[in-house]
Amino acid sequence: MPRMLYYLLLLAVVAPALSLIGGAKLETAIFIFSALSLIPLAAVIGHATEALEYYVGPVAGGLLNATFGNAPELIIGIFALSNGLISVVKASITGSIISNSLLVLGGSLAVGGWRWGRQFFSYRNAGQYTAMMVLAIAGLLIPYIASIAISDKGRMQSISIGVSIILLIVYVLYLGLNVFNIRSKRRNPRHAHKRASETRELPDWDNDEDVSPITGGVDPRIVEESARPPSVWSLLLLLVITMVGTTWNSELLVGAIVPVAKQVGWSPVFIGLVILPIIGNAAEHYSSIIVAYKDRIELSMAIAAGSSIQVATFVAPLLVLLSLFFATPLDLVFQPLELVVLTLATLLFAVVSWYGETTWLAGVQLVAVYIMACVVFFLLPK
Tens-digit pLDDT profile for residues 308-328:
888 999 999 999 999 999 988
Contact criterion met (CB below 8 Å) for 321 and 166: no
How does residue 1 score in pLDDT terms, banded at 50, 70 and 90? low
90 vs 67, which has greater pLDDT?
A: 90
How does residue 203 score in pLDDT terms, banded at 50, 70 and 90? very low
pLDDT-wise least confident of 84-98, 126-140, 213-227: 213-227
Residue 191 is predicted with a pLDDT of 43
The mean predicted confidence, pLDDT, of the chain is 80
How does residue 144 score in pLDDT terms, banded at 50, 70 and 90? very high
Q: Where are the domains of the chain?
A: 3-378
- Is 321 exposed, middle or buried, given 0-12, 13-18 or 19+ CB atoms closer than 10 A? middle
Contact criterion met (CB below 8 Å) for 329 and 323: yes
6 vs 16, which has greater pLDDT?
A: 16
pLDDT-wise least confident of 99-108, 171-180, 209-218, 284-293: 209-218
Phi-psi domain of 138 (left: phi exceeds 0; alpha: psi -120 through 50; beta: other)? alpha
Q: How far is residue 136 from each of residues 52, 320, 381, measured CA to CA in Å?
A: 28, 14, 27
CATH 1.20.1420.30 correct for 3-378: yes
Residue 66 is predicted with a pLDDT of 59
Residue 331 is predicted with a pLDDT of 92
Beta-carbon count within 10 A of 189 CB: 7
- Is 375 exposed, middle or buried, given 0-12, 13-18 or 19+ CB atoms closer than 10 A? exposed
Residue 180 is predicted with a pLDDT of 60
Strands 357-359 and 118-120, bridge-based pairing: antiparallel
The pLDDT of 78-96, averaged and rounded, is 90
Phi-psi domain of 237 (left: phi exceeds 0; alpha: psi -120 through 50; beta: other)? alpha
The pLDDT of 201-230, averaged and rounded, is 47
Nearest-angstrom CA–CA distance, 315 and 302: 18
Nearest to 119 by CA among 307, 285, 288: 288
Contact criterion met (CB below 8 Å) for 254 and 79: yes
